[in-house]
Structure 1
């Protein structure tokens, strides 16, 4: 085919075909048509407009074409959305002699993903001339053949279709032969050379004719073959078949040796001229001879090679029946073998990945992959359906004939399933059906949708005070269910103020390991509870995190000696030890046994047993027995008997104050008492003595003391009433108020520790409270076990009960700052508590 040979009328025909591109909305498909051999740039259709796409979104949405096996025959101009011819389209190369020829395109756009199917029909043009398989056809004709004898000729073939392939023939003018063309039921032409005048071998031995095939295209194209006719002399009866054409239907894949047909020809001659030999005509092509074989004697045609419907479904076999005459005559017939399709081809699948791996937060309906299926068989044997196993959470959606989309059908969770192994099965409609499978591995990509999680929301840590700086006190650990950087956890402090200082001056946390370090020695007397939060954050975008609360209890050590309260009188006596002092106070000789003449008060900055003080009176110099004693737990100095004249007028008492720590720490106080006659004794002072000695009144002071005791009893009763009323109001308010959500709310029972002097627990209320939120303070808890070898007597217990409130007031007057600390109450101050040495569980005292 040469374009320069076309007339202006043919170009107008092409232009009209281009303008007849059609839009067919059926099955959501756009259809166009284009003539084959169209030039590069030839307009096919406004594909963007026909698909409902805006020109401005073609490039951002990654508009692209996909065509299975057709390369880049067609292309789209992204500026104007026009589909045009990109390279030469040869219809015969694409579809052979098929009546219908189309190019199937897939139009894919992203954001969101859409897939459109476009079918472009390739129109045939008359670009192939008729062609004979041989340049020359040789025929042998006896001179004795009668007029109207017929001789078969091989016709031409045209690669075009339709009218362009409709052939007509003509023979160059001559006086001996004419041409007869017939159409059979298979729509193929049967050419016969008809003898219209008897030939004479002695006149002309060989005739040369030119056979021309003309197609029905515009312009017409032709093909020619030379006919060489040799005139033979002799035998005047040729063998004759029952039929001129035999139509045979045969299953493909018939085994070798299968009988196709048994031919039978007859000859009216006698003798050797009647004997017939069956042969393939010299018109039979080599590929036909490779599939079939003929028995020359019997005329049986059998299968020789492999018959495949998909390669060729129709065979034309020209048979010659030749008699054995020295001048043989030949009879002719044609055997047309039409193969029947069997389901012998399994479906074929092509899977194109679109969105792998799939984000676990991908929306339902996301297209994962495109699947195209095909089957070389025909009819029901070539109809293919696809199925998916397992279906959850995916499904197959049929988008067009033999096209499917693998679509997300339900939500994904990588933490539950990180990879799906899917099997796509393609099955044809044959009986029995054939199938093919393909595996699709769908990996789920992680999304940061899980925050780091701690094993528990709160941890309690115990650290001894005076720890070395930088010591490791605890390790926090959080687990993140995500993967890779989304699961990479780092730790940090939730910064806040602890009193006047920042939290980061007390503790630090290692960002990777989660180890918590104390940056400085902790002091139980300054800070009993350090409560803070550690934050765990992953490395995802955006990052997710969670917090955990650490309650660090600073455990007390016996690092503070007892401290005597300051004396109210001027200078302490020289030589007093342990910060004690001496006080000279007159005591009447008329007082009786058990009279309290002074009281020593001391405090200890430690807690628990380390702050539990006992008082001992040191023996006097020279071994003389003192008429005074000191209460073991209250520090009250009282007479052991009535004073007499033999007692020295000046009594020097040395009181040893000792805590119950390991090892115990001590302090001493010196008390000077002046014994005077009853008439010389001044009125007793009501002031509180601490760290020294106080003297009782002389004679006649009993009435004054009774008055003072009455006042004290009245004051104690009033204070007790106020305390009870306050407790009742506080309880009522707590019950009516909603529970506090602060970190300082009532906590869990604290750990009870043991020591050589008994068991005790740490108070959660000290000089400085460290909380992460608002809420009522935690209660003090002191628990003692009966492990001491000696306990106070019942008299001491009664003295402790009587002096409990007076002590609290005295400590505040002394200005020692004890109002911010817990009162050091004897563990047996409760009436129901068991004293040491009685066995059983100790009484637990809780102070708010």
Structure 2
């Protein structure tokens, strides 16, 4: 290098004479390289023993064997001077010594001298590396102490000016080792002092410096770039070990749940991450969630159900593609937020048991519980009963309730309840459900049997067949089972001083009443049966009812003649009459009675046969036998009449009476006088008749008032008891609070009277008696048999039916008032 030339020139003259020597008589000069042109190498003329003139005269010249003229001779001084730049490294390279041989030619005489010029090295070259940068690739898992050869630096200088040492810049991984080579050369080596970590420092830059031994020291540098080769020594790392996320129960499919992030400090495939669920992830999680293997994004692919799982713990794995593979893990906790999608449920903890109808309020019927699988307010349940039921809900603990009675129960009013309970949660919107609990009320014998009516009126024809059914009563019991099983019986009572059980008997199972024998209206017209219905409960309950049996008359009695003869029918009766009798003369009056009643006792009279049918006539209704014409002398004195007496029944019953009439001359006729007196009354008789008419009117008014009072009482009594009975006092042995009306016939002898009785059966009877003569000229009061009727209208109808002309005629000569 020319840069150091000047520094070396200063030393040249000082060393000039010290450096040249003559070897074997040969002249040698020693000069440093890089001298300036014109620098004196040595006094060649002197050293060769030549004078200055010889140099010019003898044409001294210097020739270089190398062909390059580095030197020339100064002819004026005879000195060898530097003609051109001398670079030792160019001339001699790395040779330890560098000598330039010169030939000195002198003519006249021709002489040849050989001289040598030693070119001494100066430190004009710095160490040099072939490249400014040395690249090394070292695996980060390389062992400590591993040697890595480095490129040696070169220095054209030799000797001490050549490379003497190497140094490394300060670093934290490597050191330098100098290796001795053959020929005394050195080679640097890099020693790994610490493990490399690519993830901490992927590239290390170290400056390698080569120093020579010159003075001043010259150096050369090269940049060592260490690229740390990645090893898969790092596993993927997630940002968090635990990710928490809340997800609504009704989230739609495809919803992004979370995107966990993971990094791998390695590079390339060693840092290329794939995401997946952990190997032990259960199938039910895999069916609900999905993960993107490239991004790690977790999405929803199934349907969430808070009631099935309230939270999911998902193990997420991040795995690189290195060899061997490294993996990292994190946990994703997905908490499901509840949605009110479940209606509350009512559960029967115990099945409802039947409840006695006399159970006190507060009796537990059933135990129930309410539950809702939703959470918080969505699972808060309230229960409500439908209004109107005799039950209530009594809370016990933790959504458990007791269904209890809250009112008195009555099985007869309602034997079964379907208790509807509504459960409602507190969600938004609220959901509800209903449950019906059947509750059966068991019977208690608290209802007595009840007859269909408090009293029964039974109308029974007389002369019935014994053993035939009389009537069937029926009673019902609102209770159940044995408590409602009714048996019937007849309570002991008297009928004409005889126990009623001798008249009838009763079927205890169905309430049918049967007659024990045939009834005779003429002996018994009405009687009562007191029946009882009793259940089979414990204790048993019973109720009573009265059966009023009315015997209906049948036309089973023929008319009986009581006048003119009370003997057997068909007997002969002798009557007398004057031959002077005129037309209309009352000969006699046939009087008959019929034990039957109503139309069956409605009697009519007919002249069946007569000695002279033109002479006599019989009144159809009164039975009076009168002359149709005046008796003549030609008429027989003995007349025989056959009178037929018939009732109005079905079938008709009849009887006959034979009347023998003797027509006599000069017979006194008091009856005729009476008749004439009746036809032509005196003033005194007229007054008596007026009195009788007034008395009869008074009696009629009193009777009518009595009938009206009894009718009103019977109507009131019928509303309360359902019956009103008219009974005979002489055959009635029952205690009946009803007041009675009686029409009583007295047929004692030829005098006939009718009694109208009124008042309490136990009180003293009052009777109104009409007495009639058997020889009355006009129609008498018709005889009425005792009648048993239930109301005033029937009494009137009986009376009306018993009167042939529907009139009341009181024209008897005797009227007595009791």
Alignment of 1:497-536 (within 5 A): 497-532=494-529, 534-536=531-533
SS at match of 1:527: coil
Separation (CA, whole Å) in 1 of partners of 2:642 and 2:333: 142
Separation (CA, whole Å) in 2 of partners of 1:638 and 1:320: 147
Separation (CA, whole Å) in 2 of partners of 1:445 and 1:673: 92
Q: 1:712 to 1:653 in 2, by over 3 A?
A: farther
- Correspondent of 2:438 among 437, 441, 457: 441
Separation (CA, whole Å) in 2 of partners of 1:259 and 1:781: 115
Alignment of 1:170-181 (within 5 A): none
Q: Which residue of 1 aligns with 2:164?
A: none
| Displacement after TM superposition at 1:379 (Å) | 1.8
Q: 1:562 to 1:475 in 2, by over 3 A?
A: same
| Displacement after TM superposition at 1:372 (Å) | 0.6
| Displacement after TM superposition at 1:774 (Å) | 3.2
- Correspondent of 1:564 among 558, 562, 565: 562
Tell me the alpha carbon deviations over residues 344-399 of structure 1, each in whole angstroms, 9 at most, x when there is no partner: 55534321446533445655554432211223333223222233457645454444
Q: Which residue of 2 aligns with 1:385?
A: 382
Structure 1 gap ranges (5+): 1-141, 146-197, 200-232, 682-695, 751-762, 783-802, 811-816, 834-847
SS at match of 1:467: coil
Q: 1:566 to 1:539 in 2, by over 3 A?
A: farther
Q: 1:320 to 1:550 in 2, by over 3 A?
A: same
Q: Which residue of 1 aligns with 2:657?
A: 668
Q: Which residue of 2 aligns with 1:247?
A: 244
Find out whether 1:773 has 2:736 as its counterpart: yes
Q: 1:558 to 1:249 in 2, by over 3 A?
A: closer
Alignment of 1:54-453 (within 5 A): 240-251=237-248, 259-271=256-268, 273-276=270-273, 298-301=295-298, 313=310, 335-343=332-340, 345-353=342-350, 355-360=352-357, 365-389=362-386, 392=389, 394-408=391-405, 418-446=415-443
| Displacement after TM superposition at 1:448 (Å) | 5.4
Tell me the alpha carbon deviations over residues 387-431 of structure 1, each in whole angstroms, 9 at most, x when there is no partner: 345764545444444123334466666566554444434333334
Q: Is the 8 A contact 2:257 2:300 kept in 1?
A: yes
Q: Is the 8 A contact 2:390 2:409 kept in 1?
A: yes
- Correspondent of 2:772 among 806, 815, 818: 806
Q: Is the 8 A contact 1:395 1:406 kept in 2?
A: yes
Separation (CA, whole Å) in 1 of partners of 2:275 and 2:467: 111
Q: Which residue of 1 aligns with 2:571?
A: 580
Q: Is the 8 A contact 1:744 1:771 kept in 2?
A: no
SS at match of 2:245: strand
Find out whether 1:608 has 2:608 as its counterpart: no
Tell me the alpha carbon deviations over residues 113-144 of structure 1, each in whole angstroms, 9 at most, x when there is no partner: xxxxxxxxxxxxxxxxxxxxxxxxxxxxx999
Separation (CA, whole Å) in 2 of partners of 1:420 and 1:450: 20
Q: Is the 8 A contact 1:630 1:637 kept in 2?
A: yes
Q: Which residue of 1 aligns with 2:805?
A: 828
SS at match of 1:439: strand
| Displacement after TM superposition at 1:632 (Å) | 4.4
Q: 1:287 to 1:646 in 2, by over 3 A?
A: closer
Tell me the alpha carbon deviations over residues 634-685 of structure 1, each in whole angstroms, 9 at most, x when there is no partner: 444555666676666666665554444433411324446473545xx6xxxx
Q: Is the 8 A contact 2:366 2:404 kept in 1?
A: yes
SS at match of 2:514: strand
Q: Which residue of 2 aligns with 1:739?
A: 713
- Correspondent of 1:555 among 553, 556, 559: 553
Separation (CA, whole Å) in 2 of partners of 1:769 and 1:644: 57
Q: 1:253 to 1:562 in 2, by over 3 A?
A: same
Separation (CA, whole Å) in 2 of partners of 1:328 and 1:619: 154
| Displacement after TM superposition at 1:828 (Å) | 1.9
Separation (CA, whole Å) in 2 of partners of 1:484 and 1:654: 72
| Displacement after TM superposition at 1:463 (Å) | 3.6
Tell me the alpha carbon deviations over residues 524-568 of structure 1, each in whole angstroms, 9 at most, x when there is no partner: 222233454555555555435453644434122143342335859
Tell me the alpha carbon deviations over residues 208-266 of structure 1, each in whole angstroms, 9 at most, x when there is no partner: xxxxxxxxxxxxxxxxxxxxxxxxx9777665544454333344586787654433344
Separation (CA, whole Å) in 2 of partners of 1:745 and 1:438: 49
Separation (CA, whole Å) in 1 of partners of 2:648 and 2:235: 144
| Displacement after TM superposition at 1:597 (Å) | 5.0
Q: 1:774 to 1:563 in 2, by over 3 A?
A: farther
SS at match of 2:558: coil
Separation (CA, whole Å) in 1 of partners of 2:462 and 2:321: 130
Q: 1:318 to 1:772 in 2, by over 3 A?
A: same
Q: 1:282 to 1:254 in 2, by over 3 A?
A: same
| Displacement after TM superposition at 1:521 (Å) | 1.8
SS at match of 1:739: helix
Question: Alpha carbon RMSD of aligned pairs, Å?
Answer: 5.7
Q: 1:352 to 1:659 in 2, by over 3 A?
A: same
Q: Is the 8 A contact 2:352 2:439 kept in 1?
A: no
Separation (CA, whole Å) in 1 of partners of 2:334 and 2:142: 34
Separation (CA, whole Å) in 1 of partners of 2:735 and 2:718: 6
Alignment of 1:613-628 (within 5 A): 613-616=603-606, 623=611
Q: Which residue of 1 aligns with 2:37?
A: none
Separation (CA, whole Å) in 2 of partners of 1:292 and 1:618: 128
Separation (CA, whole Å) in 2 of partners of 1:746 and 1:379: 69
Separation (CA, whole Å) in 2 of partners of 1:365 and 1:744: 44
Q: Is the 8 A contact 1:462 1:555 kept in 2?
A: no
Q: Is the 8 A contact 2:338 2:375 kept in 1?
A: yes
Alignment of 1:714-729 (within 5 A): 724-729=697-702
Q: Is the 8 A contact 1:531 1:772 kept in 2?
A: no
Separation (CA, whole Å) in 2 of partners of 1:697 and 1:246: 150
Q: Is the 8 A contact 2:488 2:511 kept in 1?
A: yes
Separation (CA, whole Å) in 2 of partners of 1:773 and 1:655: 45
Alignment of 1:612-761 (within 5 A): 612-616=602-606, 623=611, 630-638=618-626, 655-661=643-649, 662-671=651-660, 673=662, 675=664, 677=666, 696=669, 724-729=697-702, 739=713
Separation (CA, whole Å) in 1 of partners of 2:316 and 2:288: 15
Separation (CA, whole Å) in 2 of partners of 1:453 and 1:565: 55
Shifted more, 623-632 versus 550-559: the winner is 623-632
Q: Which residue of 2 aligns with 1:758?
A: none
SS at match of 1:370: strand
The alignment's TM-score, normalised by the length of structure 1, stands at: 0.50
Structure 2 gap ranges (5+): 1-140, 145-193, 196-229, 746-768, 777-782, 788-797, 811-817
- Pairs aligned (count): 543
Q: Is the 8 A contact 1:650 1:675 kept in 2?
A: no
SS at match of 2:656: strand
Q: Is the 8 A contact 1:716 1:805 kept in 2?
A: no
Q: Is the 8 A contact 2:599 2:802 kept in 1?
A: no
